[in-house]
Amino acid sequence: MKVLFVWMNDSGEGTIPLGISSLSAYLKEHGHQTSLFDTTFCKYDKGVMREYREKIGIVKRADLESFGVRQEEVDIQKKFQESIDAFQPGLIAFSATSYAFQLGVDLLHEINVKNIPVIFGGPHSTVAPDASIAPEQIDYICVGEGEGALLELCNRLESGGDTTNIKNIWAKKEGKVFKNELRGPVDLDTLPFIDVSIFSEKHHFKPFVGKVYRIGYMELSRGCPYNCTFCMARYLKETYEGQYYRRKNEERVIDELLRLKNEYNINMIRFWDETFLAIQIERLEKFAKLYKEKINLPFIIGTRPETITEKKVAIIKDMGCVAVSIGIESGNERIRREILDRKYTNEHIIRAFKLTKDAGIRRSSFIIIGIPTETRENIFETIEITRKVKADSLGMSYLMPYPGTKIRDYCIQHGYLEENAPIIDKSDGSTLNLPTISSEELKGLFETFYLYLRAPKWMYPLIEMCEKKEPGHEKLYDILISRFGNLQK
C-alpha cells in the first residue's frame, strides 16, 4: 500500500511534526510505502508570523534564505495533483489541527483523487469527530492515536477487507458512518524511530538568536499531566481514562537521538514534550547522564513555572540546555486559577525566571491575551510581570477556544462565542465577544505589547497613541520599534 501523507502547514517555518513522522515509520516497518505532500514552503496570502516577529524586534532576523528556506509562489492544488499523479497512492492521509482542517478540505476541491480513499487524523479529528467526518471528500477519520489504526486500515484496504470495524477509525459506507471504539494507548517504546526522510531538508534549518542551526526534534513523553482549560490534554486524558500521559524509556530516546545526530548532521535538539520538567528527578538525572555522554548537543525545552527547581535547572544546564520556554499566560492569579486552571503563583513565575537566568539559560515567556473576564488592567498586570522577569524573547497569542477544550465550552455557555464559530489563526485576532474588553482594543494591545515591555513607563502615553491608531501613529510606531522593539538587545 502506498500512503501519501498531507501536512497542511502555512507557517512558512520548518519543523518536523512527530505525529506524521511516527506514522510513516510505523507503516514502513510493516512493509508499506509512504510519501509526503507538504505545504510549509508554499506561499499563502498572509505573511509568515516569524516575519512579523522580526519586524517588531521580538526575534533576531536570521538568514534562512541562504539555506534555501523560503516560501514559493505556487498553485497548491496543481502541485498536490501532480504529487498524487506521480506517487499513485492507495490512501491519502491528512494530519490537521483545528485551524488547518478546513485548509485540508479546501485543498481537496477540484482534485481528481481517482477514487483514492481519504482519511483525516490529528487533533481536530480526535476532538471533533462528527464535524470531521461530515465533508463529502472525507472517507475515514482517525480518532485518537493512529499508529495501530492506520496500519490496520492499510492492511484491510490492500486485501479488500472490511474497513468499517477498525478501532479508532470512523468510516463511511453507503451513506452510513461507522463509529468504532478506541483501542488502548500505544506503548511508545515499541514504536520504530521516527521517519524524517519524507521531509525536505529545509525543515532542519531553524534560527536561534540570529544563527541558523540544524535542528532535530524529539519527545520523551506524549501528553501532559496538567489540565489547562485551553489545551486538549485534558480531553485526551478523559478519553483514555487517565492513561494518555506516558514516557519513553531513556535509553531508547538516546538511541533515537544518536541516529538523528549521525544521519542528519543535527547540531541542536528541540524537545517537544509539553512540560519537559514534569519528569521525576531520578529519571531526569538518568537521562541527563546518558545525554551528556552520548549526544552532548545544545537543546531547547518548554515547561511550566512550578516545575522549575534549583536542582532541575542545574541538571539541564549541565547536560546542555540553552533555552527554555516558560508559560506565564496571564499576570493575574485569579484568571490563571479560575479560568485557565493554572494554579502557580506569581512568585513561582519570578523564581522560575530567576533560576534559569542565574544558570545562564535563555528564557522565552509565553503569554495569552483575550481571556474571558480579562480587562485592560489585567493585561497590564501581564505586561508588568513580563517586564519584571526580563525574558530574552517572547511568544504571545490571543486565546483560541479550540474544539475539545474546556475553555471553548465555557465561552459558548457565557455567550462569548457562537457554537459553530470558525477557528482562525492565533495571530489574526480574537474570536471572542468579550464584555470586558473589545476586539479592537485587544488588537491594539497585541500590536504594541512588545513596546509596553521595553519602553520606560513615562513613554506609555506615546505607545497608547500607536495602540489606538491616533493621527501620525505609523511614523511614531516605527520610531518606537526601532528604539525599543528589539528584546534581543
User: Alpha-carbon distance 200 to 214, whole Å?
Assistant: 12
Give CATH for domain 2-47+74-179: 3.40.50.280
Backbone φ, ψ for residue 94 (5° rounding): -90, 140
- Cell numbers representing residue 37 in the block: 505532500
Residues 6+ away with beta carbon under 8 Å from 328: 305, 349, 365, 366, 367, 382, 385, 386, 389
> How many CB atoms lie under 10 A from the CB of residue 234?
20
SS3 418: coil
Q: Which helix (H) or strand (E) holds 184?
A: none
Give me the pLDDT at residue 489, please.
37
How far, in Å, CA of 405 to CA of 341, rounded?
A: 12
Specify the 3-state DSSP secondary structure of 93. Answer: strand
Predicted confidence at residue 484, as pLDDT, reads 82
Q: What is the largest CA-CA distance in the chain?
A: 72
> Are 2-47+74-179 and 219-453 in the same CATH fold?
no
pLDDT of residue 48: 47
Q: Using a cut of 0.85, tell me whether the model's pTM lies above it.
A: yes
CA distance linking residue 466 with residue 474, whole number of Å: 7
**Contact assessment for residue 222 and residue 147, using Cβ atoms and an 8 Å cutoff:** no
User: For residue 53, what pLDDT is reported?
Assistant: 60
Task: Describe the chain by its helix, strand, coil percentages, rounded to 5.
Answer: 40, 15, 40
Q: Select from 222, 210, 212 the least CA-distant residue to 249.
A: 222
Domain parsing of the chain, residue ranges: 2-47+74-179, 219-453, 455-489
DSSP state of 95: E
Query: pLDDT at position 12, please?
Result: 65
DSSP letter at 389? H
> Which CATH topology does 219-453 take?
TIM Barrel (3.20.20)
Question: Tens of pLDDT along the chain (489 residues)?
Answer: 999 999 988 766 778 899 999 999 999 999 999 999 998 887 765 444 556 566 655 556 666 666 666 667 788 889 999 999 999 999 999 998 888 898 899 899 878 887 899 999 999 999 999 999 999 999 999 999 999 999 999 999 999 999 999 999 999 999 999 999 999 999 999 999 999 999 988 888 888 887 889 999 999 999 999 999 999 988 988 888 878 899 999 999 999 999 999 999 999 999 999 999 999 999 999 999 999 999 999 999 999 999 999 999 999 999 999 999 999 999 999 999 999 999 999 999 999 999 999 999 999 999 999 999 999 999 999 999 999 999 988 888 899 999 999 999 999 999 999 988 877 766 678 999 999 999 999 999 998 998 999 899 999 999 999 999 999 999 999 899 888 865 443
